[in-house]
Amino acid sequence: MSNSLFSKSLNTVKDAVTVARVQKEPWKIAVIDDDEDVLTISEMVLKDLKVDGRGVTFLKAISGAEGRALFEAHDDIAIAFVDVVMESDNAGLDLIRWIREEKKNQCTRLILRTGQPGQAPEESVIRDYDINDYKNKTELTSTRLKTTTYAAIRSYRDIQTIEFSKVSLEKVVKSTAEVLKSKTLYKFGSAVLEEITTLLQLDSSAIYVAFSNENILHDTELNVLAATGDFVQLSSNLECDFVPENICNQMRSVLMSKKSIHSDDTYISYVTTGSNTANVLYVSFDEPLDSFKKNMLDIFSTNVALTFENLAVKEDIEETQKELMYVLGDAIEQRSKETGSHVRRVALICELLARELHLEEPFVQAIKYAAPLHDIGKIGIPEHILHKPGKLDSNEWSTMQTHAELGYELLRSSKRVLARVGANIAFYHHEKWDGSGYPNKLRGEAIPIEGRIMAVADVIDALGSKRSYKEKWAGDDIKAFMQSQRGTHFDPEICDLAIEHFDKIMQLRAKYPD
């Protein structure tokens, strides 16, 4: 065949140049053939090829064994032109089978070439081997080699696109699952932040996870849950005033228009999560996102929206519940003519001691927020006893002691964890380690841990505060008293922790002075 590419001699191509370097990563073409003319001519003809703005680079081998080495070293070969007969009559066929079956490579386009058609009949080879094309070398003119290569690279590109979409979807599902584990809005925001960074493999982008809520009074706030840059992993919600003004304005614009905004360097999604609630995801990047990554963000944003709504409602209820605990505790303390700051101080002290005891964090938080209810039973104590400036007589003291049981009775029937923990705190915080306390004269570890913690916190704060019947004690006097009551009034371990962290306790008390 007069114009057959491979009927030319090596002398006609001895001046072939190497592949030009391009800015984008080139497509890899493997040429595996024991004929040096074939290797050289293939490179000469295809060296200037470009597909989607990407050039090509060549990987060469002269045997099936060298071909295997190429595939071991490179997992992104787009096309492999494989000769049938090399070091053995079936070396190329064996390599093809190894690539597909052992290497598990289904993406590379494999084009088998032969100069001896009778050695490997086309029909049986196509039937028995997972190849994408089979060419007689005498058929491959320069034009046919180029068209074959164009078609194969585009096929490989499309397969890679499908694989990328599959992997991307798996990543979105996995990332969504990680976010679903969040139990607070802050952890939700942090999880979204982390998963977006992983999904998009971003290094220098700015990401803000924010939400807007309009209450029944039509008050609207935009709060940031988490962010990169200057606000990495925010520890609490920040109003938009703390966010760069241009970013804040863009997020507010999205909230007003109720439409997402996508540009070459910015992605701002708007997802409604309730009739009065919406969340906003702001992502900026140095290079434009491709369509797949934008789709991933769209899917991810939509999938986490329901989680956000559920967490927002749950957290609002929980925060309202906690706030009501403080309000109720304040009301009781004020009825006793004592400062309402007492309930806030003992809550913080209880939290510190519970955490130092290495209790489970949910239990630590329950103790903290139930602590304000420790004296709720005083609501049933007559005011003349509560307000008496001097020492109570025996009858008055007996009446005062009933506040522990009254508080327990008020709370014990609740099914809510905070109320049940509050019931125990109210009932047991006047029990003493040696069994001399009230109302049941329990001893040692028979007293629930929350009652033992409150016993220490309540006494420390009471001694450090002025009361109608006493003056404020100095810190050293409080510590000396605690030491004297170790193992009698107080659990020794908790007492030791309180003395060890006494300065921290005083700092906590200073947050809410009388």
Cα 6 to Cα 177: distance, rounded to the nearest angstrom: 56
Pairing of strands 133-136, 109-114: parallel
| 3-class SS shares of the chain: helix, strand, coil, % to 5 | 55, 15, 30
Judge contact between 142 and 45, C-beta under 8 A. yes
Place of tokens 């290797």: 39
Catalytic annotation on 378?
A: yes
- List of residues 6+ apart from 51 with CB closer than 8 A: 27, 150, 153, 154, 157
CA 251 to chain centre: 22
Cα 361 to Cα 84: distance, rounded to the nearest angstrom: 67
Element (H, E) at 292: helix 291-335
CA count, 13 A, side-chain hemisphere, 170: 6
| Among the listed residues 509, 457, 469, 477, the one whose alpha carbon sits nearest the alpha carbon of residue 338 | 469
Cα 72 to Cα 70: distance, rounded to the nearest angstrom: 5
How far is CA 426 from each of CA 331, 366, 408, 473, rounded to the nearest angstrom? 16, 14, 6, 25
The DSSP string of 122-148 is HHHHHHHS--SEEEEGGG--HHHHHHH
Here the tokens at position 280 are: 């906003």
Phi-psi category of residue 54: left, alpha or beta, with phi > 0 → left and psi -120 to 50 → alpha: beta
Here the tokens at position 396 are: 């008055």
Cα 109 to Cα 111: distance, rounded to the nearest angstrom: 6
Which of 28, 60, 378, 432 is an active site residue? Answer: 378
First to last CA, the chain: 104
Q: Could you say which DSSP state residue 276 is in? A: S
CA 301 to chain centre: 13
Full 3-state SS string of 437-496? CCCCCCCHHHCCHHHHHHHHHHHHHHHCCCECCECCCCHHHHHHHHHHCECCCECHHHHH
Compute the residue count for the chain: 514
Cα 61 to Cα 74: distance, rounded to the nearest angstrom: 13
Cα 200 to Cα 301: distance, rounded to the nearest angstrom: 13
| Among the listed residues 279, 295, 208, the one whose alpha carbon sits nearest the alpha carbon of residue 244 | 208
Catalytic residue set: 378
